[in-house]
Structure 1
């Protein structure tokens, strides 16, 4: 019997006529309805004609999470007075409860994408409701894009509804071809906001890490809420680990029951949370309780202010969830849970001043997540770069390029990004393409049962107590009686059935490496390692003490006491980056050997000649390497001359041209040329290091082509080589000694060397008496020299670029200071008119 009293109490009923009009007139609609209004339950029943009104239709409702899909189906069945599977059923990964006469089917968005790939027309469906669009999960965005494509090209009669409590309504309306926006008024009760920040500062989240001090504070706020308010308490935490820690800190709460709800929670626990009744409860939940689910009895929400979002570290080839500050939209959703059934309160574990600085909405997964699975889906859809799909946000180019590289490596796409037969098979598995590849290829090597066991273990992170060794975790899952082990066994059965129903396109593994009997007889640990390595070939790593180097080039630390430390090679399944560290850290992996490494990462195996500059000389060797890992090295004789030349040039760049033989004359030549280049420009050559490297073929090539090592460089006469750069063709080279002479003749007749080490203004260091009678400072190339006038002992007595001014103003002071110290040398009162000399006064008198 239909429960009309419960249905009539749902506020969304008032929006149904407008929704019907929108679908009849436009075929699409955006439904904006606050939490608790019945958009997830009443709307699909009404659209299907199950309430005795309107035409009979078959409706598919897509939910972002399995727990939400099950709960929505059960709630709708209860409203109809039926069991699940009659008029309303559900399908999630590994579970289908849908009867022959079902008119409403609730599915996860991932299941919907798979169904669209198999049947693009979505035969039999009349309406599709995409629920909780605001969460912007990648599968939901993909499903919306595919559905719009289907409506535009194949089935214009297919009706689409995008439904959410808080969303960019206009954005979705535009995406669905200008769809009408239908708003339903909520009947939410007032919710009082209580700001409850920690007394002392806590460290911000980093990676998966949450400051234990914050979790202790959240537990204390839960206790405070229990004391100050009536009703059940719903506490939001970012992940399963944080839920377990807060539950442990709450301990015994007397008559209060503590429940933990998350995607991994057993179905019985999920049912108990959603059933309500009985004694007072504290429900510790992840974001699965933000929307789609109504937890009865809740009057208080405690919000940690944290959430988990996917992130990809493309530089290290790692992807994982990371802890972030929850958005303002998520905060509103969470707070609304306290006002579903009566006035309530939300305790926010942060300061009011911080609230305005929070992001407005969660980050769309398409912007931050690993796009490998998305790239395969759009390739199978026929739009490899997703340029023709209706998406609120385009996929980032770099992330798509990285995804296509992975797909190409496993043979899922061809050279232009189109899906291959193998790619289509991988897409049908309902797994990440990496895991799908390992399941298909691993089944052919170790058997479907073992491959399915390992892939099920890799599909969902095992509890920490299972350890970081996948082989040990596998054995524990087999004998385990916990919720994880139950889910693992169910997934093994699903994968075994899936792989048996998929034709196996050609493997990407080279046939010489594949002797099936060899792997059938291998130890279980070795088989586990092989399957893990097939899933993550670029994370195969050679162990070196407490760390390992992946073939991708990423170094990762292995934890103290881990059994992986004793191995020579490991396949890293899960890794993260610790706070403040530049390297990764292994969370789980499997022991492998070099044979497995070569097999799994064979695409990265190469042997090549490497000639380079190392430790001050040319090193030539033949290297066999697996990506970044060197497997074997031997000296290389008769190395390719071009490679040797490149190594010598690299050495000159690192160590400078000082590695050549520079005679004093060669050094002076370079200084003179630098002076002329600075003051006269062309055709005089630039002789800076960068310029000489750029023109190395013109001046150094003959000698460089004969060199093989550093000692040969030291025998190259730099001056002779540098002379090749002089402007011989124009005839200007003949003016070198005229424009930048090595020496100039001073009034005494001496030929004094010019110091060009400062090309801005060369220096002439000469005894003061030798410059008597000279009215102007000497010039080279029109530039006045900086004259260092020396005392008879050869020490600078004065520095000037204007001799006339010095004779007039500065000489008197120098004469007064030095004539008594050097009485044997002439110190005339009029130096400008005196006879220059390089001798003493006594010698002059003779």
Structure 2
């Protein structure tokens, strides 16, 4: 019996006429309805004609998560007074409960994508509802684009509804061809906002890390909420680990039950959360509880303000979830959970001033996630570049190029980017293409059962307590009785069936590793076979022990934790890694031990043997090197290295250690300084002789000597002065003016020729005995630049410094004369030096 009383209480009922008109007139609609209004449950039933109004239709509802899909189907079946599978069923990965006469089917967006790839027309489906589209999951965006394509080209009668509580309604309306926007006014109860920031500063999230101080604060806010408010408490945390930590800090709460809800939670726990309870509860949940689920009894929400989103670390070649600040839209969704049944409150664990700085919406996955699976979906759809797909945000070009490289490597697409038969099969496995490749290509070597077991472990990362050794984790899962082990067994059965009968040869790829794995490479028992599957999935993450860490084929370094069973292994294949705070290396979360033969087999595309000539340890090193990507496998000396490579190595040495490797005679040093002076004060055509400029013109001044050099000792024999002479402006004739413009020596009044020091090109120095300049009215100049005169005592010690000799004779000389006259009585000290005779001699010599 239909529960009309519950249906009539859902506020979205008032929007049904407008939605019906929009679909009749336009065929598409954007439905915006606040949380708790019934958009996920009442709308599909009405569209299907199951409430006694309107024609009978078959409706598919796409949800972003399995838990939401099952919950929505159960709720709709309850509203109809039926069992799940009668009029309303659901299909998620590995589980299908849909009867022959079902008119509403709730699926995950991943299942919908696979169905579209098999049957682009969606035969028999009249309406598709994309629920919670504001979350901008990549599968949902892709499904929307495919459905619009189907409607435009194959089935114009197919009706589409994009539904969400908080979304960019105008953007979705444009995407769906100017679809009408239908808004439902919510009857949500008021929710009081309580700002509860930590009293002490906490470190911002980084990677998967959350400051323990924040989790301690969240636990204290939960206790505060229990004391201050009635009803159940729903607390949002970013992940499973944080939920476990907060649960541990809460401990026993007397008459209050603590439940942990996330995608990995047992179905019984998920069902219990969604059912009314006799005792008060604290529900610790990830973002799975943001949308589509009503947790009865909740009057209070505690929001940590954090969420998990996928990110690609291009620098390390790693893709993983990362912790971020939740968006304003997510905050509204979370707060709305407190006002579904009665007035409530939300405790936000951040300051009110921070709220305006939060992003408005979550980052679209298409902008930040690994696009390999998306690129394969687009290729299988017939649009390899995704240029013709109706997407709110275009995929980044760099991420798409990287995805195409991987797909080409595993044989999923051809050189033009079109999906191969193998690619079509991979797309239908319901796995990331990397894992699909590992499943199909390893089955013939390790057996279909074991391949399915390992890939099932890789498709949903096992709990942390399983450890970081993949083979050990497999043994734990086999004997485990926890919820993860149960899901793992179901996935193994699905994958084993999916891989059965696939007879196409493995990929002959170039990256990330050919899979012609005839025989049993590196078969060292079960651990070796587990390692082969992991290595085929992540060939660029095959890593060799190197100086206390592991060096991956990709060039990324990774470390294992203390006490890890992987420590001491010569080779591993890294399946999961993250980036710790303040660390330069990645951290291994899950890996398998392999040997060199497995490494070579799985990552064969990275095998490269070439001559390497470079500058190392102060000289040219020439050798023949075999590498596996960044990992050096074997070397041998190279006796006859290519001349060009040697030359580049010598230039590398000059860049690293400087031009001092050449032979710089005193004359060469002086010449370089004179040229630097002219370049600064005269400019062209005098050459720039700075290091960078000389490196840039090495062909002009160091050849042919550099071409004949083979090692460091040969560089030391090259006369740098002779090379600099080649840079002089001979063609213009200016080279002949070098001694005129920047002479090595200059004549002073005494007749001496004194060397000029060009060490400071801004103002060269002339160091000369004071008496030799008597009678000189102005400071000497070169190229119009006054020299900085260092006036020396008769003993050759500095007595004064001036660039204005006339001023010195007038003002400074008296002090110098008074100081030195008694010390050097044999030398002339006239009262008027500007008019005196210059001399190199003492008074006695002058009298003779």
The TM-score bracket by the shorter chain reads over 0.9
Unaligned runs of 5+ in 1: none
1:42 corresponding residue in structure 2: 42
User: Does the CA-based 8 Å contact 1:447-1:520 persist in structure 2?
Assistant: no
SS of aligned partner of 2:796: coil
Shift of 1:182: 0.5
Written as runs of structure 1 = structure 2, the 5 A alignment for 1:265-284 is 265-284=265-284
Note closer, same or farther for the CA distance 1:736–1:495 as it changes in structure 2 (3 Å cut): same
SS of aligned partner of 2:315: coil
SS of aligned partner of 1:192: strand
2:701 corresponding residue in structure 1: 699
1:350, 1:733 → 2: CA distance?
72
SS of aligned partner of 2:844: helix
SS of aligned partner of 2:457: helix
Written as runs of structure 1 = structure 2, the 5 A alignment for 1:99-248 is 99-248=99-248
2:834, 2:795 → 1: CA distance?
22
Note closer, same or farther for the CA distance 1:43–1:549 as it changes in structure 2 (3 Å cut): same
Shift of 1:512: 10
1:737, 1:214 → 2: CA distance?
74
User: Does the CA-based 8 Å contact 1:776-1:804 persist in structure 2?
Assistant: yes
User: Does the CA-based 8 Å contact 2:318-2:577 persist in structure 1?
Assistant: yes
Corresponding position: 1:797 with 2:802 = no
Corresponding position: 1:752 with 2:760 = no
User: Deviation per CA, 1:308-342, whole angstroms, max 9, x where unpaired?
Assistant: 11122110111111222222222221221122122
User: Deviation per CA, 1:759-809, whole angstroms, max 9, x where unpaired?
Assistant: 222222222222223333332223332222222111222333333333344
1:834, 1:187 → 2: CA distance?
108
User: Does the CA-based 8 Å contact 1:677-1:686 persist in structure 2?
Assistant: yes
User: Does the CA-based 8 Å contact 1:623-1:632 persist in structure 2?
Assistant: yes
SS of aligned partner of 2:729: coil
User: Does the CA-based 8 Å contact 1:29-1:162 persist in structure 2?
Assistant: yes
Shift of 1:658: 1.1
User: Deviation per CA, 1:225-272, whole angstroms, max 9, x where unpaired?
Assistant: 333333322222221122222233333333433322211112222222
1:396 corresponding residue in structure 2: 396
Written as runs of structure 1 = structure 2, the 5 A alignment for 1:830-845 is 830-845=832-847
Shift of 1:357: 3.0
2:430, 2:475 → 1: CA distance?
25
2:348 corresponding residue in structure 1: 348
Written as runs of structure 1 = structure 2, the 5 A alignment for 1:155-554 is 155-500=155-500, 502-508=502-508, 514=516, 516-518=518-520, 522-544=524-546, 546-554=548-556
Of 171-180 and 756-765, the range deviating more from structure 2: 756-765
2:787 corresponding residue in structure 1: 785
2:195, 2:178 → 1: CA distance?
40
Note closer, same or farther for the CA distance 1:773–1:219 as it changes in structure 2 (3 Å cut): closer
1:160, 1:760 → 2: CA distance?
76
2:184, 2:35 → 1: CA distance?
10
2:517, 2:807 → 1: CA distance?
95
User: Deviation per CA, 1:101-151, whole angstroms, max 9, x where unpaired?
Assistant: 221111101111111122222222111110011111111111111111222
1:147, 1:12 → 2: CA distance?
25
1:53 corresponding residue in structure 2: 53
2:575, 2:710 → 1: CA distance?
45
1:653, 1:198 → 2: CA distance?
52
SS of aligned partner of 1:68: helix
Note closer, same or farther for the CA distance 1:111–1:830 as it changes in structure 2 (3 Å cut): same
Note closer, same or farther for the CA distance 1:700–1:21 as it changes in structure 2 (3 Å cut): same
2:601 corresponding residue in structure 1: 599
Note closer, same or farther for the CA distance 1:746–1:215 as it changes in structure 2 (3 Å cut): closer
Of 403-412 and 669-678, the range deviating more from structure 2: 403-412
User: Does the CA-based 8 Å contact 2:327-2:360 persist in structure 1?
Assistant: yes
1:683, 1:546 → 2: CA distance?
56
1:515, 1:55 → 2: CA distance?
57
Note closer, same or farther for the CA distance 1:780–1:302 as it changes in structure 2 (3 Å cut): closer
Shift of 1:528: 0.2
2:147, 2:526 → 1: CA distance?
44
Shift of 1:516: 4.2
Corresponding position: 1:711 with 2:750 = no
Written as runs of structure 1 = structure 2, the 5 A alignment for 1:508-657 is 508=508, 514=516, 516-518=518-520, 522-544=524-546, 546-657=548-659
Note closer, same or farther for the CA distance 1:616–1:311 as it changes in structure 2 (3 Å cut): same
Note closer, same or farther for the CA distance 1:743–1:538 as it changes in structure 2 (3 Å cut): same
Task: Count residues with an aligned counterpart.
Answer: 846
1:251, 1:809 → 2: CA distance?
89
Of 197-206 and 68-77, the range deviating more from structure 2: 197-206
User: Does the CA-based 8 Å contact 1:509-1:600 persist in structure 2?
Assistant: no
1:723 corresponding residue in structure 2: 725
User: Does the CA-based 8 Å contact 1:445-1:520 persist in structure 2?
Assistant: no
Of 529-538 and 815-824, the range deviating more from structure 2: 815-824
Unaligned runs of 5+ in 2: none
User: Does the CA-based 8 Å contact 1:546-1:558 persist in structure 2?
Assistant: no
2:700, 2:489 → 1: CA distance?
72
1:793, 1:668 → 2: CA distance?
26
1:615, 1:515 → 2: CA distance?
40
1:99, 1:527 → 2: CA distance?
41
1:194, 1:766 → 2: CA distance?
82
1:741 corresponding residue in structure 2: 743
1:600, 1:518 → 2: CA distance?
12
User: Alpha carbon RMSD of aligned pairs, Å?
Assistant: 2.0
User: Deviation per CA, 1:650-693, whole angstroms, max 9, x where unpaired?
Assistant: 11112221111111111111111222222222222211111111
Shift of 1:494: 0.4
Shift of 1:522: 4.8
Shift of 1:16: 0.7
2:733, 2:271 → 1: CA distance?
96
User: Deviation per CA, 1:184-223, whole angstroms, max 9, x where unpaired?
Assistant: 1111122233333334443332222223333333333333
2:79 corresponding residue in structure 1: 79
Of 102-111 and 342-351, the range deviating more from structure 2: 342-351
Of 407-416 and 358-367, the range deviating more from structure 2: 407-416
User: Does the CA-based 8 Å contact 1:175-1:392 persist in structure 2?
Assistant: yes
2:13 corresponding residue in structure 1: 13
Note closer, same or farther for the CA distance 1:158–1:764 as it changes in structure 2 (3 Å cut): same
Of 193-202 and 744-753, the range deviating more from structure 2: 193-202
Note closer, same or farther for the CA distance 1:268–1:659 as it changes in structure 2 (3 Å cut): same
Corresponding position: 1:822 with 2:824 = yes
User: Does the CA-based 8 Å contact 1:548-1:557 persist in structure 2?
Assistant: yes
User: Deviation per CA, 1:528-558, whole angstroms, max 9, x where unpaired?
Assistant: 0000011111111112464211111111111
User: Does the CA-based 8 Å contact 2:522-2:594 persist in structure 1?
Assistant: no
1:762, 1:195 → 2: CA distance?
69
User: Does the CA-based 8 Å contact 2:409-2:507 persist in structure 1?
Assistant: no
Of 553-562 and 302-311, the range deviating more from structure 2: 302-311
User: Does the CA-based 8 Å contact 2:31-2:182 persist in structure 1?
Assistant: yes
SS of aligned partner of 2:77: helix
Note closer, same or farther for the CA distance 1:796–1:277 as it changes in structure 2 (3 Å cut): closer
Shift of 1:509: 6.4
Of 245-254 and 440-449, the range deviating more from structure 2: 245-254
Note closer, same or farther for the CA distance 1:346–1:835 as it changes in structure 2 (3 Å cut): closer
SS of aligned partner of 2:274: helix
User: Does the CA-based 8 Å contact 2:521-2:597 persist in structure 1?
Assistant: no
